[in-house]
Amino acid sequence: MSENAIVVCTWSTGRDGLPEGVEEILHIGRSMASALDTDLAWLVLGPLPESASELAGKYGVGQLQHAADPNLDPAGSDACVEAIAAYWETHSPATLIVHQTNEARVVAPRVAGRLGKAVVMNGISVETVASNYQITASAYGGDTRAIYEVSSGSILSFIANAVVPEPAEGAPVAPEALSLDLSGVDERIQVVEQASFDGPRLDDAEIIVSGGRGLGGADNYKLIEQLAAALGGLPGASRPIVDEGWVDSSHQVGLTGRITRPNLYIAVGISGASQHMAGCSAAGTIVAINRDADAAIFQHARYGIQGDALEILPELIRAANAR
């Protein structure tokens, strides 16, 4: 049994059959394991993704540990917490790392609470200092970075969009079955209506055109939708126009909305507050359209257009359609 390993933990798979952000956290796990000269394990709770063995090989995973259990398919939060707690008892990992999904935002601190372990969310990068870890995390919506120090045996959650995974050659790793006793689990939270959105998601979009309060009114949001359509992208939004009800919250980009990583992000009538940038700063190229030449968004943009969105958008839609 491998004690003191760096353990990447995933449950539930995304649309491409892999857990969201898994390559990014495997990448982080690999560098931690090599800095500490210890093993990297990947703990999969619930159904094993088809390409797990292959992926494990590409990131230097030593053990691909797989816990199958009816309670983990689909994995409720009580089952996940119970499973990780049981795993901890027998494996005592050096650290457990997760990708920061909404589910991870529940499971990671609950495990920490149950086991009395340190937990740090919003991780961007991590360094090992003797047997401790220093995690650089985003704070104040992105206005600052906080460096937290925790000891070995902690739970760390990373925001994947800052990481560029680098797979390498490696032989596939055979999964090893783990049996964790989940017989006592009785999920306390019952889903009575499932979320049902299955259209294209901002998270996966290559091109996003987002509108903000500078659009001036709900009716003008259609210009954002038209430009997005003309460019083959998706429309996004800042939080205030979601709060105002101009558009529904699945469009919100930012710290508390979608964290995106498109090739092209066009921000229209958006001031560029840190909490908005937290959801788009990893974009390949940012274009900003804003009336105010001093708007913060221009500090992040590659190309800027200073002017009235309502005059520029129709022209951009025309030019995009004609391209």
Partner 1 sequence: MKITVCVKEVMDPDAVNNYAVAGRLEIGPDGKTLTQTAIPRLMNGYDEQAIEAALQLRDAGADFTLTVVSAGPEPEKMLKHAAALGAQEIVSIPIDPGQIDYHGVATLLSAQVEKAGGADIILCGRQASDDDQGVVPALVAERLGMPVVTLARALELSGDKLRVTRVTAEGDEVVEVACPAVVTISNEIGDPRYPSASAKVKARRVKPTVTTPADLGLGDAELQPRVMLTKQFVPEVQGNCEFIQGEPSEVADQLIERLKADSIL
Ligand X SMILES: Cc1cc2nc3c(=O)[nH]c(=O)nc-3n(C[C@H](O)[C@H](O)[C@H](O)COP(=O)(O)OP(=O)(O)OC[C@H]3O[C@@H](n4cnc5c(N)ncnc54)[C@H](O)[C@@H]3O)c2cc1C
Residue ranges in 217-256 that form contacts with ligand X under rule CB under 6 A: 238-240, 252-256
> Is residue 42 within 8 Å of 48, Cβ to Cβ?
no
List all residues 6 or more positions away from 120 whose beta carbon is below 8 Å from its beta carbon: 135, 137, 148, 150, 154, 155, 156, 157
Q: Cβ 285 to partner 1, closest distance in Å?
A: 5
What is each CA distance from 305 to 261, 269, 274, 277, 301, in whole angstroms? 22, 11, 20, 18, 10
d(CA 77, CA 83) in angstroms, rounded, equals 10
Burial 222-233, CB ≥16 within 10 A → b, else e: ebbbbbbebbeb
Number of residues that bind ligand X (CB under 6 A): 29
The answer to the question of residue 295 lying near ligand X (CB under 6 A) is: yes
| 235-264 binders of partner 1 (CB under 8 A) | 239, 242-243, 249-250, 255-256, 258, 263-264
- DSSP lists the bridge partners of residue 183 as none
d(CA 51, CA 18) in angstroms, rounded, equals 8
| 104-123 binders of partner 1 (CB under 8 A) | 105-106, 108-110, 112-114, 116-122
d(CA 275, CA 254) in angstroms, rounded, equals 6
The answer to the question of residue 269 lying near ligand X (CB under 6 A) is: yes
Among 141, 167, 170, 172, binds ligand X (CB under 6 A): 141
The answer to the question of residue 304 lying near ligand X (CB under 6 A) is: no
d(CA 62, CA 136) in angstroms, rounded, equals 26
Q: Cβ 231 to ligand X, closest distance in Å?
A: 19
Q: Cβ 9 to partner 1, closest distance in Å?
A: 16
The amino acid at residue 127 is E
- Which range, of 2-10, 55-63, 177-185, 272-280, touches partner 1 by CB under 8 A? 272-280
The answer to the question of residue 50 lying near partner 1 (CB under 8 A) is: no
Q: Cβ 30 to ligand X, closest distance in Å?
A: 30
> Is residue 66 within 8 Å of 159, Cβ to Cβ?
no
Q: Cβ 236 to ligand X, closest distance in Å?
A: 9
Q: Cβ 273 to partner 1, closest distance in Å?
A: 5
The answer to the question of residue 287 lying near partner 1 (CB under 8 A) is: yes
Residues at the interface with ligand X (CB under 6 A): 141, 212-214, 216, 238-240, 252-257, 269-271, 273, 275-276, 279, 289-292, 295, 308-310
